[in-house]
Amino acid sequence: MKYYIQKLIQSIESLDIKNNIITLDNINYIIQQKKITSFVKKLGAYFTEQKLATVTVNTFSKQITHNSIILDPTCGTGNLLIEASRCLQITSHLSSTLKQWGETLWGYDIHSEFIEITKLNLIIEALRRGAILDCSIHQGCNFLHNILLIDAMQISDIQVKKVTHLLMNPPFLQINSPQKNYWKKGKVNSAGIFLDHYLRILPKNCEIVAILPDILRSGSRYQLFRSFVSSHLIGNCHIWGRFSNTADIDVFILSGKKNYSTKHIQWTKPIKKNTLSLSEKYNVRIGPLVAYRDKCEGKDYPYFHSKNCKNWTIITKITERRAFKGKVIQPPCILIKRTSSPSDKFRAAAVLINLKEPIAVENHLIVVTPKDHTFKSCQYLFKILSTQQTNDFLNDQIRTRHLTVNAIKSIPL
């Protein structure tokens, strides 16, 4: 990391960047090399690529000017602040440009290296746009005095009362729940905690744009989070898709204005009225057998797990058996693989089990049994699961790497 900072300073001092096009993707590439990549990964940090940064900043409904106060409370290496700076004018000299930007651009991070890199990247951006170098790099960094080494979660409403625009791409780590307000015990995504905090302290009518992991939009555990956001933000969400080529996680852009609201944010496309959902004709549950926990004891049953379930086959012969004391499933039934990505050809990859004896099903499979217990109903659903309409529906409902029971239950028939 220190090597990268030294290279940036050398580039600035030699002015070899003035006639080159510097993009966020160039910066990200350097940062994500070797040891820097592993360091960043531990932080749950994902650096915003150029296209996503541009779309995010352009999502603000209120124009950014020199009278704005733009805050990124988890600024990392400053990619979103760099993009925001492109909405600001430059003066003829670097010092006067940075003095103006220093009043408008605010950023926080808990890693000193990131704060240093953010300031240096903003200096590079000003020089690239034509500002004349008339001060030392140290002086230039000092002009950006609102980019600070601070824990964003320790900030109070008094400290952000002047903020007009909030940009956020918070860490996506799994952390212990704060167990206050609506947050229940267990692990939760840190991005939700960050957004929750700032929705509580930002001034009324502050513009907000946040890049967030899809689990916050679609996960059943985050229903209360979504209700809280809907009540404090007049806005909407836009599905972006995979964050980047180097980060296999899907995200969405949440945007709006801080204000108390009775209008529900549309997190997913509404299901048409009078549409029959899968749960009305089928029972859905997670496979009961947990391989690492359940001992091989009890009666012997046909055993199904992800590796012995070849997609879109109808299984009529037993290939594997296992002793099990727990809940077993009576076929006919459909088994859907829980591991699923929006990039897969089929989101609900499945097999149809047509055996006469009960089966033991591992918990990486979702079990769907028809309420009328017929093979015909299984065949009907089998065809529906393989359609593009089902793919499109699930990709709107949930873009995490695991399907949920609720998502399967809501599939239109």
Burial 75-92 (b: 16+ CB within 10 A, else e): bbbbbbbbbbbebbebbe
What integer pLDDT is reported at residue 18 of this predicted model?
A: 47
| Residue position matching structure tokens 């590079």 | 124
Q: What is the pLDDT of residues 27-78, one digit of tens each?
A: 555 555 444 444 444 444 556 788 899 999 999 999 999 999 999 999 988 9
80 and 169 Cβ atoms separated by less than 8 Å:
yes
What integer pLDDT is reported at residue 244 of this predicted model?
A: 79
d(CA 222, CA 383): 31
d(CA 169, CA 81): 11
Closest of 165, 8, 178 to residue 73, by C-alpha: 165
Q: What is the pLDDT of residues 135-156, one digit of tens each?
A: 988 899 999 999 999 999 999 9
298: number of CA atoms within 13 Å, CB side?
A: 15
85 and 101 Cβ atoms separated by less than 8 Å:
yes
**Beta-strand (E) ranges in 12-93?**
70-72
pTM of the model: 0.85
Residue type present at position 322 = R
Contacts 24+ apart (CB under 8 A), 160-163: 160/71, 160/198, 160/201, 160/202, 160/203, 161/203, 162/69, 162/203, 163/69, 163/70, 163/71, 163/106, 163/202, 163/203, 163/206
Total residues found in the chain within this entry: 413
**3-class SS of residue 409:** helix
pLDDT averaged over 10-residue windows placed end to end, the chain, 413 residues: 58 51 50 47 60 93 94 93 95 95 97 89 89 90 96 96 96 92 94 96 96 94 94 94 83 94 85 88 97 93 96 95 96 97 94 96 97 97 96 94 94 94
Domains in the chain (CATH in brackets) are: 2-258 (3.40.50.150), 278-409 (3.90.220.20)
Q: Which residues contact 154 (CB under 8 A, 6 or more apart)?
A: none
What integer pLDDT is reported at residue 26 of this predicted model?
A: 53
